[in-house]
Amino acid sequence: MNKNSKILITGGTGLVGSSIVRNLLKKKYNNIFFPSKKEMNLLHRKKVASYIKKIKPDYIFASGAYVGGIEANMMNPINFFYTNIEMQNNLIKIADELDINNLLFFGSSCIYPKFSKQPINESELLKGELEKTNEGYALAKIAGLKLCEYFRYYKKRNYFTIMPTNLYGENDNFNSSSSHVIPAIIQKVNLAKNKKINEIKLLGTGKAKREFLYIDDLAEAAILEMKKNKKYSMINVGSGEEISILNLAKLILNIAGHNAKIKFTPNSPDGTPRKLLNSNKIMSLGWKPSITLVDGLKKTYNLFDNNKNIRI
């Protein structure tokens, strides 16, 4: 991949896609395409084929997906399964049909079994039952991963999958009905601070542990993988550190400078009890995270507080 390569990023306005675009622009890549949904709706096969045929990209970062937090996944498993299957099938199959040889598909750490051995190796895939609260989304992502794997093995395409841990950061989704855990907590903490409310309510018990990665660190990993990975069909990308939801909430309260009580709703699901990835493969390619959780949370909180570079 060189500075003049034609690079297509799907989902270029989302959390992952927009970060890849920003990072490529900083690195002076000058042939970047990140079409809007109107220009290339991944659910419409003919539009996908027409757009790809027109620009003939050398590389595709397939970051476009239908995503949401635990509540959204629980309420809409049909949409999370069907929509993602349709989007990724259209893109991956058409890329092959139009002889595009390089494609990076974005999976998710939720593809791994609920009770995987920790830290989770890529070999844990399909060795146990999935977490029910996001099963639909996970199954769709597994299908996309396997489709890339088949094209890699049977047709010698350089199609592979990156499995990021929980992501957050600039251009995150703060919609109260579909956000993930960090933007959800930031939103509640910020409201409590501004309204002088002395209690915030969070789902679950607070005991579940999660690993978090700032979005720009993922973008760096994805770009590096596209350049260097010729060996692996699937690669984990995580920070190597985990934190309980309770301690995460305390940290965000401290960053906000607000002293509120945290009340959990233990009748609500925690999701997978623990998800810590083994990221040795990506680190062997020369990557390591550069943004600490504290620094990333400070930046994200300030973006939300100033209503800048976020989605609601």
Active site residues per annotation = 137
What contacts 142, CB < 8 A, 6 or more positions away? 107, 111, 125, 126
Of 189, 165, 186, nearest to 175 (Cα)? 186
Are 243 and 297 a contacting pair, CB within 8 Å?
A: no
3-state helix/strand/coil string of the chain: CCCCCCEEEECCCCHHHHHHHHHHHHCCCCCEECCCCCCCCCCCHHHHHHHHHHHCCCEEEECCCCCCCHHHHHHCHHHHHHHHHHHHHHHHHHHHHCCCCEEEEECCHHHCCCCCCCCECHHHCCCCCCCHHHHHHHHHHHHHHHHHHHHHHHHCCEEEEEEECEEECCCCECCCCCCCHHHHHHHHHHHHHHHCCCEEEEEECCCCEEEEEEHHHHHHHHHHHHHHCCCCCEEEECCCCEEEHHHHHHHHHHHHCCCCEEEEECCCCCCCCEECECCHHHHHCCCCCCCCHHHHHHHHHHHHHCCCCCEC
